[in-house]
């Protein structure tokens, strides 16, 4: 395939490296002012990985898009709508857009695939590439499993067949809503895990994991998805990488936040916590963990007090004959 990867951060560059390794023709696009792109153009390395000479580098979007069959987008979630606006004048038709990013639009609460579909021609397909893993581990040759999902079964199967290799085994997603919501919200749970680490309460992560999964399964069901998707690779299956790993930006951000240390890297869960407030109201679903994280981040509430209230919540039956609310 001729593939253009848009976004030269840690994930975009890893994807370009991985797909080149599989034999695809890959161009990596980044803005001219990007420090990552300057590093790649200077030494082909960003400090995490080195790109082979076979990966093309471009800072001109029309040039990078020319001839591409597949566009893989790996940019901050809140930048997606703007990027789709930049692509619109190119009048792309019959292409595939694969979103390798996790989040929700803050203003609307929309899933990222919804934004991409709204902003592109109907002849273009949209898919998502989600699941656990860290750049450092993949580049070191440590394998993992991930998910590709789409409303188009044909596109989903085409991408899984083309992108699968020894390093990444892809599963066919069966619930676009559940997989996107699960992937986005796990970053909020990751920030809560960072709070626990910062307050030396890491033993509560087991409770956080079980309650967090149940919480998000209710939201997925209320949005029309399959609640069991919360127990798959895109949410519970990503907890090890997000709640425990030293490479997790969201966990590290949460830890730094409660200990008063600066943190410069992007933590998508910060924006997702705000977006979930709108979804919670729209769907009429309680999200106690996500609410607690939001109050700490956006309302200045004390993290220790919020966590104490969270884990002391009264357990009560939802309805007779149904399981209790956690």
- The residues annotated as belonging to the active site are 186
Report the alpha-carbon distance of residue 142 to residue 159 in Å, rounded. Answer: 21
Work out whether the CA dihedral 149, 153, 156, 157 comes out positive or negative.
positive
- Specify the 3-state DSSP secondary structure of 260: coil
Both tokens of 263, joined, read 């943190």
- Specify the 3-state DSSP secondary structure of 4: strand
Both tokens of 173, joined, read 């997603």
| Closest residue by Cα to residue 104 from 127, 76, 124 | 76
Distance of CA 41 to the CA centre of its chain: 27
| Closest residue by Cα to residue 179 from 238, 107, 133 | 238
Give 124's DSSP letter: S
Contact indicator for 130, 298 with CB cutoff of 8 Å:
no
DSSP letters, 18-49, are: HHHHTT-EEEEE--TT-HHHHHHHHHSB-SS-
Phi/psi at 83 (5° precision): -65, -45
Residue written as tokens 């951060």? 9
Phi/psi at 6 (5° precision): -100, 115
């Amino acid at each position: 395939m001729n593939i253009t990867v848009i976004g030269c951060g840690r994930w975009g560059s890893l994807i370009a490296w991985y797909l080149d390794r599989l034999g695809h023709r890959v161009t990596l696009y980044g803005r001219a002012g990007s420090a990552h792109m300057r590093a790649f153009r200077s030494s082909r390395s960003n400090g995490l990985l080195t790109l082979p000479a076979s990966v093309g580098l471009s800072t001109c979007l029309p040039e990078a898009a020319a001839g591409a069959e597949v566009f893989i987008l790996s940019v901050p979630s809140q930048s997606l709508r703007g990027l789709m606006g930049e692509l619109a004048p190119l009048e792309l038709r019959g292409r595939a857009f694969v979103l390798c990013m996790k989040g929700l639009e803050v203003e609307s609460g929309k899933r990222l695939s919804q934004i991409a579909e709204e902003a592109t021609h109907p002849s273009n397909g949209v898919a998502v590439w989600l699941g656990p893993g860290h750049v450092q581990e993949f580049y070191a040759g440590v394998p993992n499993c991930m998910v590709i999902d789409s409303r188009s079964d044909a596109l989903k199967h085409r991408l899984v067949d083309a992108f699968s290799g020894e390093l990444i085994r892809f599963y066919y997603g069966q619930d676009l809503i559940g997989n996107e919501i699960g992937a986005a919200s796990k970053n909020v749970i990751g920030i809560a895990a960072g709070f626990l680490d910062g307050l030396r309460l890491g033993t509560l992560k087991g409770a956080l994991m079980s309650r967090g999964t149940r919480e998000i399964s209710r939201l997925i069901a209320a949005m029309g998805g399959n609640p069991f998707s919360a127990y798959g690779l895109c949410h519970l299956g990503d907890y090890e990488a997000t709640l425990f790993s030293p490479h997790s930006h969201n966990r590290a951000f949460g830890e730094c936040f409660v200990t008063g240390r600066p943190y410069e890297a992007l933590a998508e869960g910060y924006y997702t916590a705000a977006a979930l407030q709108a979804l919670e109201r729209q769907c009429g679903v309680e999200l106690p963990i996500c609410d607690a994280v939001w109050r700490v981040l956006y309302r200045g509430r004390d993290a220790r007090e919020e966590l104490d209230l969270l884990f002391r919540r009264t357990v009560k039956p939802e309805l007779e004959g149904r399981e209790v609310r956690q």
